[in-house]
A and B are shown apart, each in its own frame.
Chain A
């Protein structure tokens, strides 16, 4: 009997010894105080992995800090950081599959506020300090928000009331006069035209399948990068770039990609006279061009170029490589002569650059 109790005691002791606290909430907070100028890299992470992050690059010191939102606030950014915009000293990060937009101090990265209750937000654009628009993949509306109060003030209905696919989604926003152009990317082929005075959908322009990115050049022409839909799916077609006049809404030219589609990003420079885009390699051409460039500006080689950013200060070109989309990405910094001056590691799937 005595032996039994020894054994029992040993088992009990071993059970207690095997308890080890699973430090779920151990997230030390770091204090940052960055300068006025720098580059944010938005790393969207993987869908349903919740591993989105923000990286911050100091241009002068050529140093990078990763996962700055998590480290500054002790909370993760969320699931799929789709985009970011900076107004004054506040950075607004749209966290797509977390249904929210986080506002943070652009110098300290400290949390300032959030807009929640969004279905599947994608991009945010400011019309004025107290009025901004947030697009959404599934809500069939564009949210009009007051960033000062972090509240939704109204919605703009963009539903096409059709059972075909799930239309319209809304993505990027660009302004031209009193018009707001929004691309409907997912299983769609429309550019929506919204009057910013009335906040109503006024018109739409048909483009190639899946308009993915849009920019406006110095001549008020809208450039639309279309990825052509998903190969092998029910919704697939030509990929290319469509040029539209913002006033007449006429399509002026369609540039088709002849060698397949790896079309992921489109930008214009600060002066709006040159278009940069990624279709596997990086290409650039003047806004007056009538054909696409035959030579790549920067060859991708075995890299998976995913996003480009043009520094408005010095025209440096930042290019992200998403590698295999399941590990830390890499950013290349090129000067205006396309010479690589720095590379650094960032978070998973770096999808955009935001300059402050």
Chain B
């Protein structure tokens, strides 16, 4: 499933095209600037399979990234290798999706449908992509397929709990211009039944206020502006509205503690690329406008419905970057990147009259040299100096190396410094914001071995890696005696571990098998020398980071039929800072099984795919966050129609 191979871009219109084994590039064709980096690419088959889902489902089930989800459509945050949610950066066509206020991305709000290439840059590998993610970068991109004519697909799904997902995509163009239009919507009443065993005399209840709705569209235009240049402009707009359900222990009544969260987002992005004989120029510009509101309402006798929280925030972020690559020789290139970003944010809570309005500018210069002049050995040196608000960020040197033991086997190693700025809420949110926060900074070391086996009817790729990050001034929100939470820099966090992933595709007789597996061992420990007496958090696993996580995806195709199985596992997660046991402060290990079956058929120029899915096939009664119930066995039926 996850191939850390470049140049693999496939238009997923006819699934037979998946069954090509020639798609794997030999190592020698790999981009120089990917040398020594841990980069994984989500297989297009999996993207197609999850096209109506959000990024949360895709990452948790098909990558080593851990996703903490409050339920379908609810807040979901992702963390790489034991780092925090704000250490995971997400970009869509070079525009950051991270909220400048919160620093993080709610993965449930990002539909898979808006991208056709999803690439994960683990740890310092993100440095080559204009990102300084301590955890990692999730890059969502769209790429043109220079095919003449009109193509399109309509995908509709109906499922349990009044869940309806729809997507329409139209591609049209010529060899010089391509247009891609996408429209989508996701709605669910999400009122599943569960047995509430968390209150006295608990009975079967319907989950309340867990509904969600999301709709959006994107328009992309790609141009071949000349023999040596391309350009593109892209825009994406989305609106969302959802309930924020309470805990199972809440018995205040259906009219109280009614929390809603809604927002909209408009992103545009422009890109110009020029290819010379020895050089490449890439100019990108984009902006992200986000508005969100959150309110909490109670029914007050004699007054009516009254808001106790009425918060709104808006942000405008502008991103600019110029990249120049120059090939010094056939095996050596030097890259220079200049970037400048600007954020303007406004946050207000109307009931308590708390507000802040601020701006932040940031930018930097990155110079990197990648070379393969030594036989079977490649290396890269990257130097980066950023600034923010007239202050210099920590200087970032990094080194990436890889060595080819043979045609199939590659050893990788890298070292990098990195940093992360506090989010603007960390600094200015009232009450609790801490303007004295320092940027988080640290270094990381990565090592790994990648193996690719290619036979006539088999492709297997494994990658085994180890990672170590030492992060100082980690920003952690903690409650205070006054009741509100406040962020503080804690001295040190060590995050280290190992991961393994496998991608396997093979044919036996008329059966085509696709397997992918991920396993991650993650330790993320607070190593601060505390000055708080009785503090037992030193050396303990950080909250909500599982030590072990794994997933397995299997798909079998037989002629026009297919079936798939998805398995997920997380070990116990702790919620207290001292990683204490007990059901009030930890969550039991998580196991989940989903299956689907489908059939493909064609009629003239139309292609049909009908798919039936069963989620939580063993009807587990479970939760993945304390006191937030999850649905039992549930179903969906999906129909895909493609035309060409």
Q: Which residues of A contact B622 (CB under 8 A)?
A: 22, 24
Rounded to whole angstroms, the CA-CA distance of A343 and B201 in the bound complex is: 36
- Are A50 and B249 in contact, with the CB atoms below 8 A? yes
- Are A99 and B200 in contact, with the CB atoms below 8 A? no
Rounded to whole angstroms, the CA-CA distance of A139 and B298 in the bound complex is: 8
Chain B interface mostly: loop
B17 contacts chain A at the CB level, 8 A cutoff = no
A304 contacts chain B at the CB level, 8 A cutoff = yes
- Are B247 and A98 in contact, with the CB atoms below 8 A? yes
- Are A327 and B537 in contact, with the CB atoms below 8 A? yes
Rounded to whole angstroms, the CA-CA distance of A115 and B618 in the bound complex is: 37
A8 contacts chain B at the CB level, 8 A cutoff = yes
Rounded to whole angstroms, the CA-CA distance of A230 and B349 in the bound complex is: 15
Number of B interface residues at 8 Å Cβ cutoff, please give it: 77
- Are A303 and B618 in contact, with the CB atoms below 8 A? no
Chain A interface mostly: loop
- Are A326 and B478 in contact, with the CB atoms below 8 A? yes
Rounded to whole angstroms, the CA-CA distance of A214 and B623 in the bound complex is: 40
Rounded to whole angstroms, the CA-CA distance of A347 and B588 in the bound complex is: 19
Q: Which residues of B contact A74 (CB under 8 A)?
A: 197
A348 contacts chain B at the CB level, 8 A cutoff = yes
- The total of Cβ contacts below 8 Å across the A-B interface reads 232
Q: Which residues of B contact A48 (CB under 8 A)?
A: 247
* Interface-central residue, B248, B479, B480, by most chain A CB under 10 Å: B479
* Interface-central residue, B248, B432, B479, B534, by most chain A CB under 10 Å: B534
Q: How far is the CB of A343 from chain B (nearest CB, A)?
A: 9
Closest A residue by C-beta to B540:
A327
Interface string of A62-78 (1 = CB under 8 A from B): 00000100100111111
A30 contacts chain B at the CB level, 8 A cutoff = no
- Are A76 and B556 in contact, with the CB atoms below 8 A? no
Interface string of B205-234 (1 = CB under 8 A from A): 000000000000000000000000000000
B430 contacts chain A at the CB level, 8 A cutoff = yes
B354 contacts chain A at the CB level, 8 A cutoff = yes
B59 contacts chain A at the CB level, 8 A cutoff = no
A316 contacts chain B at the CB level, 8 A cutoff = no
Q: How far is the CB of B349 from chain A (nearest CB, A)?
A: 9
Q: Which residues of A contact B464 (CB under 8 A)?
A: none
B509 contacts chain A at the CB level, 8 A cutoff = yes
Among all A-B residue pairs, the 3 with the closest Cβ atoms: A99-B252, A230-B431, A325-B479
| Interface residues of A, Cβ cutoff 8 Å to B | 1, 3-4, 7-8, 11, 15, 18-25, 27, 45-51, 53, 67, 70, 73-79, 95, 97-100, 102, 111, 114, 116-120, 138-141, 155, 157, 159, 164-166, 187, 227, 230-235, 262, 264, 301-304, 306, 321-328, 330, 347-349
- Given contacts A116-B251, A120-B308, A326-B543, 15 further A-B pairs with CB under 8 A are A7-B508, A11-B565, A22-B622, A49-B626, A51-B585, A75-B197, A78-B249, A79-B249, A155-B301, A157-B302, A234-B353, A303-B532, A324-B535, A327-B535, A328-B578
| Interface residues of B, Cβ cutoff 8 Å to A | 197-200, 202, 247-253, 256-257, 298, 300-303, 306, 308, 351-354, 430-433, 478-482, 484, 508-511, 513, 530-537, 543, 552, 554, 556, 565, 567, 569, 575-578, 580, 582-585, 588-591, 593, 595, 618, 620-623, 626-627
